[in-house]
Structures are given as C-alpha cells and as structure tokens.
Amino acid sequence: MRKDTTYKGGITRRTVLSGAAAMGLSRVARAEQPQEVKVGLIVPLSGIYTRPGQVMKMGAEMGIEHINAQGGIKALGGAKLKLVVIDCGDTTEKAKNAAQRMVAQETDLVAATGAYLSSFTLAVTEVTERAQLPMLTLSYSDLLTERGFKFIFQTAATASRQSELGLPTLMKLAESASGKRPKTVAMLMDNTATSVATAKALKEKLFAQEGLQLVVEEVWTPPLSDATPLIQKVRSARPDLLLFMPNAVSDAKLGLEKISEFGLGQGKIPTVSFSITIAEPDMLQSVTPDVVQGIMTIVANWGSKGHEDLIAELKAKYKEPWMTQNVISTYGDMWLMKNALEKAGKADRLAVAEAFRNLDGGPSKYYPGGELKFDDKGRRVGAGVVIVQWQSGVPVTVYPPELAQASPFWPKKS
Amino acid sequence: MPTLRSLLPALAFTAIYAAISLSVSNSYYQLVLTLVPVWAVFGLSWNLLSGYTGLISFGHAAFFGIGAYATALGQIYFDLSPWFLIPMAGLLGGVAGLLIGYPTFRLQGHYFALAMLAYPLAILYVFEWLGFQEITLPIKRDNPIAYMQFGDPRLYTLLALAMMLATILLTRLVERSRFGMALLAIKQNEAAAEAAGINTLAWKLRAISLSGAIAGAIGAFYAVVLLVVTPQSVFGMLVSAQALTVAMFGGVGTVWGPVIGSVILIPLAETLNAEAGSRFPGIQGVIFGLAVVCVILVAPEGLFWKLRDLHRKRSAPKAGDAQQAPASTATITTLQRELRRRPASADVVLEVQNLSRSFGGLKAVQDVSFKLHKNEILGIIGPNGAGKTTVFNLLNGFLRPDRGKVLISGRDMSGQKPHAICEAGIGRTFQVMRPFPRMSILDNVVVGAYVAAKSDAQARQLAANAVSRVGLSAVAGRLAGELSTKELRLMELARALAGQPRILLLDETLAGLGHGEADEVVTVIQQLARDGMTIAIIEHTMQAMVRLVDSFLVLDHGAVITEGEPEAVTRDSRVIEAYLGKKWVAHAPH
C-alpha cells in the first residue's frame, strides 16, 4: 500500500516535469535561472497516524502539481514550488524533534503545513514560532491560536467554533427535514482532547441555547472494548438525537454495529458525529454501507460542490474513494502559500508570514465559508463548517447549500 | 565516600560532552545533544531503584510525568519559573515515591513490577479527566532567561549535563555508602539482608523517594525542553520503557549503564527517524528494535558489564601469572586445633520458652524450650524435617511464633523484625549460601558490618577484622563469584561476624564440604568459641559435631526429644530411633 503510494508519487513528479516542458513554460526558464521555492509538509508518516499523514501528502502533491502546471509563482518569475516532506512520527517528542530538524536543516523553507494531530501541531509550532517560519494548520484545537503566536495560521474553524456553528445548523436541518425540533439528546464520547473540547462547549452553552435536554452522557477511554452498555442506555432513553463522538475507526465501528444490532440504526435515532473519523474511507473496510447510512458528521472541511475535478483526479491517481478534510485542506494550503508568495514578491519566510497576516484573498475556494484572511490570532476570518452525511456508501457534503453535493435527508423515527 | 580519582571519568566525560555541544551550532543536533543527558538522568533514576535493589519498576513515568505537569501547570496558573519549579518537581517526585513505595513494597518480583506499571497509567487517565490533554508552557518574550527560555539551545544542553553530572555524583555517593550496600544486599537476597541487620523497608523507601525525586526533576526539565505536555508524552508506556531501555542496554546496577545506553540509543533513534524515516517511513522502529534485541542477546547484562568482562579477561592472564595463581590455592591461614579452654559459663544469653509454630495442620515446632549459656556451642540435630531451620527462623525473626518467648539477654524479642533481632546481637548464616557474586569478599562482609558500625570507615574496619578471623584476609579482594564452596561458607561466617553478634546461629555450615574442608571450617568455629562467641549450630555430620559441641539439642517432629552432653545423647535410644529407625535401637551399645 505504502510502496504503491510512493511509486505513484514518483510518476506524478515526472509527469509534471515533462508536462511543464511540453506546455512551453520554458519561456521563463530561458529568461532567468529556473528557481525553486521550498515549502514544508510535516505530518505523521510512521506509527499509528500514518494514514492521515499519507492522505495529507496526496493533497499537498496535487496542489504543488497544479500550481506548477499553471506557471508557478508569477511574482518570482514562474518559480516552481518544491515540497519538502518531513515525518513527524507518532509522539509529541518525535514531532518536536522533527520540527527542529525541519527548521535547522531546511533553512530555505518559506512556509510549512501540518501536523494532523493538534498535540503534534502544538509541539511543531513551538519550534516554528521561534524559527519565525509561517505555519498553516488544519488542526482545530483552540489552544493553537491562543498562545499569542505570530507565525501560525489556522485555516479551520476552532473546535469550540465548530460546535457553535454545527449544532444550530443541525437543529435547523432536523426541523426542515422532519418538521419537528429535537428535544432530547444523548452524548457518547471518548475522552480525547478534541471530544472533550467539543463536549464542553455543547454542555456549557449550546444545549441550553437550542433547548435540548441531555438525557444520556457516557465517556469512554479509547479503545472501546464493548459498546453494549452504552447503546443499551441510549435505547432505553430513546433520545431524539444521538451525538456519537469516536476518534478511532475501531471505536466507531464497534459503536455503529451495536447501534445497528439494537435496531437503532438506519436513522431510527438520528446519529451525528463531530469528527472525520466516522467518514473515513477505512470505515467501509469494517462495516457495510447500510450500517452507516444516514449518519452525519460536522467537520471543518470536506470535498464539496466545485471540487468535482479534484475528487475525480484523487480517485484516478491515488485510488481514494472520496476527498476528506485532510486532502482538501492541505491542497488548499498550497494555494494559500502561493497567494502569500505572490503578495510577498520574494522567497523569504518573514515576508511570507507578513503576507499571510495582511492577506485579503477574497472568498475561500478550498475551505468552507469565510475569506482568505486571518485575524490577529491567526484564525481564518469567517471559517465555517460543513455537514457530511453517509448516503449510499459515500459521505457527501449536504450543508451549507452552496457546497452541498446532495440534499440532506433527516431520518424519521419509525 | 567517592574519592576525586573515582570521579575523574565522570568529570572528564562531562567536560568532553560539553565541549562537543558548544561546538555544534545546528539547533536540531543540539536538541538531540540535550535529550541524551535527559534520558540518561531518567535511566539513572530508574537504576537507583531497580538497578541496585533488583525491584523492577515499569512505572517510572509516574514520577517523570508528575514533574513535567508540575512545571507546566505551575507556570501556566501561578506564573512560576522553572528555575523554582524543577526543584519543587523533585520534591513532589520524592513524596510520590514514598506514597507509591509504601503500599507497593509489600509485593515482590513480578507482582511489584506489574503494580508499578499501573501507577502512571492510572495517573494518565486522571490528567485526561482533569482536562489537561494538551498544555503548553507559555512563551515569555519579555524575560525569557528568568523562565528558562534560552535563545541559544546550547544552554539547555549544559543544564541537562549539569543535572546528569549531579545525578552521577549522587549515584556514586549512594553506591559507595551504607545506602548502596543495603540496596545491593536487598537485590541479592532480601531475607538475608534483613538477617544481616538491614531494615529493608526503610532503605527501599529511601531509594524510591530519591529515585522519584530525580525522575520528577528531570521530567520537569523535559517539559521545559519539549514545551508541550500531554499525558501520553510524559505518563505513557513508552516513557517508562525508555528508562528501562537505556539502563538495560547500557548495563544495570552501574552508574555508567544508563549513560552509555542513552549516548548510543537516543542519537541512533533520531538518526534513523531523520534518515531512514524519510525514505521508508516506519523502518526506523524496526531497525531500532532489532539493534536493541541483538545487543541484549550478546550482552544480556548490558554493554558496560560485557565490556568490563572482556577487559578483565584480556588483562587477567598478565596479572595472573605472577600473583593470582598462588593466591587461589593458599586461602586459609592454618589455625591450630586445640581443646577448648574456656568452657561454657553459667550466664544465660538466650532463653527459649515453649516456642511453638504451626503451618496449617503441621506442627513444625512444638513447645521447644532450651537455654544457651555464654560461650557455649550447642548442636541442634535431628532428622530431615525435624524443625531445626524453623527454630532458627523463629529465633531470628523470619517467622513469628504462635506461642512462646525468645529472651535475648533477658529481653523478650519474640515477634520482632529480623533486623531488630540482628541489632540485639544474633547473627546467622544460611543453609543455602547467598553471596553477592559481583562484589569482593570484603564488600560482601561490609554489608553485614553496618548494623554495628556508625560510619563507612568503621564498617570496613569491622569487616576486615571479621575476614581475618575466618582466615580469608589473603583473598579478601577477590570476587565472590569466583570462590569455592568452602571459601563461601567462611565468607558467610565472616558476614555474620562482622555485625559483632554475641550469638551466632549457623545453619548447616558444613554441608557440601569435603572431609578435609569441613575440618578447616570446624577449626575456625572452634577458634571463634575460644574467643568468647556463643554458637548454636545445625548439622547433619555427626562426626564433626561430636568433636565440636558442648551439648546437643535433639529435635524430632518439631519437639525436643532430649538434650545433654554429646556422649550421652549419641547413646540415647530415642535419638538412634529417630535417626535410624526402631530396629537399630537393639544394636546400639548400651
């Protein structure tokens, strides 16, 4: 699998180079020395988070390829972007060491993106901040942009913002689709940092605001060994809405199978998640499409309307069935870096960082909602969420309407 | 006390390391250079407990993590500086050591190891539950030095080195003192250590709190270097494993082991991550694992001991030709055998009254009473299973009597701990010998001397005396692992003597010895008696015993059959029946 990916990557680069030559882009090259601008991708490529890291690499490679094919960085005489990939491993210490290696040995990087897990991003940005290297991230922990850092730029809505945006939207969706507002809610969650942050916002503010009554609340420590007691509680409480928040595919599988086994599946109790785990392609390796049918999740980004060509290319090139947040956000990061480089006019990390800070790139194409603009904290202005729903074996974007690939259906209680 | 000369290697190593790190300007290599002493100190802290006492801890991350979180939370919530928080983390680690050690030291061996494993895992969930899944040390742009945030990463390496040097010196100090001797004795045989007058629980608690304090302090420093603290990164299994890996790879029970392990493994892992990892992600773990497995197979005790053994082997033939050959044969100063001139006096030094002990339905000892007079040699005999060793175990506190009293010089000591009874003047040897094989004869004996000594120097003096009394002075510097059975028996005798007992309990001291050898040991015992020692001896070899003892106490089925002068006892029909069966009674001379 891994070998296969590497092979494809090799093909890609060669194809691009020959393609670029064939398209007559050598005009710039003749004018001055062909220049390269290096950008970094620091993601887990070994250990238990390998898979998301690989997917992010696909997004980055596609982005670089498209940018270079369309003439590179025009402000730098058509300089090509070059991707430097660094494995940040599977522990916080490894991530910190890898970041140190990146800033010490790749001194000509102008920007980087990473590092999937928010704990890793925290450690990596402690290093990049001190090295004054601008860092884009799709991690959405609030803490990342609460440290007063000047060189971090968060493209996704933060965790607390996601629940603020997500729940009201969900309620509206339920009301319009089923004609009835949910009144009771059950929450099953693991105790990882993201789930805890989301649950905090929900319990302290949002449930009350939306008039929801919390009837079941269960927390587990991954890995979940048996979901029976959790689902039993849900069955006896019969809530209008179930928030099921796993962060490991195995936990998601156990929970969903049990929901199905207890006859609560197929939307008998509308089930919603808050992470991309439940919509990962890996899910279909362990459960059948009808087990996940109708399940929704609120995520920071997803392949949506307007990304059809990208999705098709991803399918053809990497055999990925659909485009998750990790691909589309990292793809978008490459374009964002290009934007900043055009604005900065030089391949210098301080200038690029300044360009990110003052960027005003209009509506965002590869992130949901808002603009290509960052506030003082480094958070993208107006960053929104998308709601994704499993429909016939594929998680498709159903909200917001301008990005929706399909209409949502709200499962009705039978 | 460590002399300056013995500390020279540590000082030289630190100086060279510091010089190298000062010349490195690449911040990534500097980070690796910082992490080497960090993990070395953590390995040393593990070694202080597990290396010296042999009680394997799988849970040192508990102390490490407490230190790391104390520093991070202290800075976040109280704006305290790591300069203050690192010593505080040490203190917290020490307290945690006491709290964890006190209940856990009831367990031994694998049970101890598994119980220790549970602590960091349990604490990990507590910190997750508290909502500290990820915390970062706030960046200080105004006054970075006051918060240990240096612009020059070399300063971190120097700080880490200073902590490592301090830990090495501390470990050396412990190693050479009564503390280290006590820990080594516990490692070899906890029961024997108790019998030699060592309060094992007290020393183990001291060891775990000191170890916890070091781990806490270095955990705190680690948080300062890493800047991000998550439960997994400081309480995780991998953290505890790191301490074990560097110590076991380098060598357990020596100050150099964790340092060697860390100097090799940490840069190796990093290089693999950087070089192999970018080409074949994941391969670094495989190579690293294989390297560790290979070294452990070749050098199961760790690199340090392997290298030292090789070095000894190479240098041994040279020295051996001249000196060692004669030394290994002529071991015992011949003592002249003569009749005892000072017969037993009337003073009773040990009185046993109605001593009884059962194990379930088995009455191992029933109503045993006897008196031991000053300067007497009492032989305790009886067939196998008669309860002889159980009587000794009751006398020196390994077992509590169900009923009865043990009066030492008129003071009731029944039910006291072995080390207390040892302090009261009873020394003992064991049927199965328990030497400390990696230590010299003299050091083996020093362990037994501490109970009577106020200072390390006095202990060595007492030990040297004891060694000379059993005639081993000429070979006192040899390792116990190289000795013959006879020499080991004599060494055990010296260890018991070094504690300046008034009464010696000798358990089958002649077992496993040839005829001539037994005579030599008998001669030593007789000499001790001449010098005023009171002795109780268990023995099977009747012939040797008859010549040695003043009186016999005969046990069978846990009860006293008879006691008296050797001549009378050996003719007693009950004794012959107990030993040989009924039909021999008729043949016995009357």
pLDDT tens for A286-336 read: 888 888 888 999 999 999 999 999 999 999 999 999 999 999 999 999 999
Contacts of B90 (CB under 8 A, 6+ apart): B67, B213, B214, B216, B217, B220
Give how far A100 is from chain B: nearest CA, Å.
5
Q: Which two tokens stand for residue B60?
A: 């040192």
Distance from first CA to last CA of chain B, Å, rounded? 64
Cβ–Cβ < 8 Å for B233, B239? yes
Burial of A342 from C-beta contacts in 10 A (0-12 / 13-18 / 19+): middle
- Residue B193 CA to residue A181 CA, distance in Å, equals 74
CA A392 from centre of chain: 22
Type of residue found at B518: A
Structure tokens at B412: 């009731």
Q: Closest to B27 (Cβ–Cβ): which among A100, A129, A148?
A: A100
Quote the minimal CA–CA distance from B27 to chain A in Å.
6
A97/B28 touch (CB, cutoff 8 Å), yes or no: yes
Amino acid at B375: N
* A298, B85, B442, B471 from B476: Cα distances, Å: 77, 47, 5, 10
In angstroms, the CA B590 to CA B579 distance is: 17
Instruction: Per-residue pLDDT tens, chain B, 590 aa: give them.
Output: 456 777 888 999 999 999 999 999 888 999 999 999 999 999 999 999 998 888 899 999 999 999 999 999 999 999 999 999 999 999 999 999 999 999 999 888 889 999 999 999 999 989 988 888 888 898 888 888 899 999 889 999 999 999 999 999 999 999 888 888 888 888 877 887 888 788 889 999 999 999 999 999 999 999 999 999 999 899 988 899 889 889 989 988 889 999 999 999 999 888 888 877 767 777 777 878 888 888 888 888 888 888 888 888 887 655 444 444 333 333 444 444 444 444 556 788 889 999 999 888 888 899 899 988 888 889 888 888 888 888 888 888 888 899 888 888 888 888 888 888 888 888 888 877 777 777 788 888 888 888 788 888 888 899 999 999 888 888 888 888 888 888 888 998 898 888 888 899 988 888 888 878 888 888 888 888 888 889 999 887 677 788 788 888 888 888 888 888 888 887 888 887 777 676 666 665 55
Beta bridge partners of A213: A184
A277 band by pLDDT with thresholds 50, 70 and 90? confident
A94/B contact by beta carbon, under 8 A: yes
Cβ separation of A96 and B228 shorter than 8 Å?
yes
Output the CA angle A156-B230-B58, nearest 5 degrees: 150
B230 to chain A, any CB pair closer than 8 A? The answer is yes
Place of tokens 């939307």: A267
- Whether B28 and chain A come into contact, CB under 8 Å, resolves to yes
Chain B residues closer than 8 Å to A87 by CB: 273, 277-278, 281
Distance (Å) from the alpha carbon of A234 to chain B's nearest alpha carbon: 23
B238 inside 8 A of chain A by CB: yes
Topology of domain B13-19+28-312 in CATH is ABC transporter involved in vitamin B12 uptake, BtuC (1.10.3470)
| CA torsion angle B47 B52 B56 B57 (round to 10) | -50
CB spacing of A119 vs B128 below 8 angstroms: no
ipTM value > 0.85: no
Sort residue B556 into left (φ over 0), alpha (ψ -120 to 50) or beta.
beta
Beta-carbon separation of B233 and A98 below 8 A: no
Q: Domain B342-587: give its CATH superfamily.
A: P-loop containing nucleotide triphosphate hydrolases (3.40.50.300)
pLDDT tens readout for residues A180-203: 888 999 999 988 777 887 888 899
pTM (predicted TM-score): 0.81
Residue A257 has pLDDT above 80, yes or no: yes
CA gap A250, A122 in Å, rounded = 26
Residue B29 forms contact with A (CB below 8 Å):
yes
Q: For residues B356 and B518, is the Cβ–Cβ distance under 8 A?
A: no
The H-assigned helical ranges of A142-292 are 159-178, 193-201, 207-209, 228-237, 249-261, 283-286, 289-292
Cβ separation A94–B273 shorter than 8 A: yes
Q: Is A5 on the interface with B (CB under 8 A)?
A: no
The residue among A327, A330, A340, A334 whose CA lies nearest residue A373 is A340
Is B273 within 8 Å of A105 when comparing Cβ atoms?
A: no
Angle at B506 between CA B504 and CA B507, to 5 degrees: 150
Window 21-50 of A: residues touching B by CB (8 A cutoff) are: 45-47, 50
Residue A73 sits at the vertex; the CA angle it makes with A67 and A79, to the nearest 5 degrees, is: 100
Distance CA(B20)–CA(A120), nearest Å, equals 30
Inter-chain Cβ pairs, chain A and chain B, closer than 8 A: 100
Q: What is the pLDDT of residue A145?
A: 93
Query: Of B32, B228, B282, which is closest to A46 when you measure between CB atoms?
Result: B282
Q: Which of A309, A348, A381 is nearest to A73 (CA)?
A: A348
Q: Confidence band (pLDDT; 50, 70, 90) for A41?
A: very high
Is A105 close to B136, i.e. CB distance below 8 A? Answer: no
Q: Do A93 and B136 touch (CB under 8 A)?
A: no
- List, in sequence order, the alpha helices (H) in B301-404: 303-319, 325-329, 388-395
Q: Which residue of A has its CA nearest to B26?
A: A104
| Res. A412 pLDDT band, cuts 50 70 90 | low
**Which residue among B27, B128, B238 sits closest to A191, beta carbon to beta carbon?**
B128
Of A232, A270, A219, A305, the closest CA to residue A390 belongs to: A270
Closest residue of B to A221, CA-based?
B125
> How far is Cα B458 from Cα B312, in angstroms, rounded to an integer?
30
What phi and psi values does residue A166 have, to the nearest 5 degrees?
-70, -50
pLDDT at A265 over 50: yes
Taking the CA of residue B309 and the nearest CA in chain A, the distance in Å comes to 36
Interface check for A141 against chain B (CB to CB < 8 A): the answer is yes
Nearest residue to B497 (alpha-carbon basis) of B439, B433, B451, B541: B451
Tell me the C-alpha distance between B590 and B574, whole Å: 13
Using an 8 Å CB-CB cutoff, list chain A residues near B135.
143
As given in the structure block, the two tokens for residue B554 are 């005969």
Q: Which of A45, A118, A221 sits opposite B281 (nearest CB)?
A: A45
In this predicted structure, what is the pLDDT of residue B571?
Answer: 80
Token readout for A338 is: 């290009």
Task: Spell out which residues of chain A touch residue B35, defining contact as CB-CB under 8 Å.
Answer: 97
When the pLDDT of each residue in chain A is averaged and rounded to a whole number, the result is 86
DSSP annotation of B175: H
| Overall average pLDDT of the A131-147 stretch | 92
Burial track B525-557 (b if 16+ CB lie within 10 A, e otherwise): bbbbbeeebbbbbbbebeebbeebbbbbbbbbb
- When pLDDT is cut at 50, 70 and 90, the band that residue A155 belongs to is very high
Whether the predicted pLDDT of A156 surpasses 80:
yes
Three-state secondary-structure class, residue A414: coil
CA distance B499 to A272: 74
Q: What is the largest CA-CA distance in chain B?
A: 103
Q: Which chain B residues are within 8 Å of A200, Cβ to Cβ?
A: 131
A409 touches chain B (CB under 8 A): no
Across the interface, which of A47, A87, A192 has its CB nearest the CB of B133? A192
One-letter amino acid at A151 equals F
In sequence order, which residues have a C-beta less than 8 Å from that of residue A35 and are 6 or more positions away?
Answer: A76, A77, A79, A80, A347
Q: Residue B136: its chain A contacts at CB < 8 A?
A: 122, 126, 143, 147
Copy the structure tokens of residue A402.
């301008």
List Cβ neighbours of A79 (8 Å cut-off, separation of 6 or more): A34, A35, A36, A37, A72, A73, A347
Please report the pLDDT score of residue B13 as a whole number: 93
CB contact under 8 A, B228 and A126: yes
Which of A2, A5, A46, A124 would you mutate first to test chain B, the one with the most B CBs within 10 A? A46
Q: Is A91 on the interface with B (CB under 8 A)?
A: yes
**pLDDT attached to residue A267:** 67
Is residue A112 pLDDT above 90, yes or no? yes
Residue that has been written with the tokens 């059962």 in this structure: B358
Give the β-pairing of A296-299 and A386-391.
antiparallel
Domain ranges of chain B: 13-19+28-312, 342-587
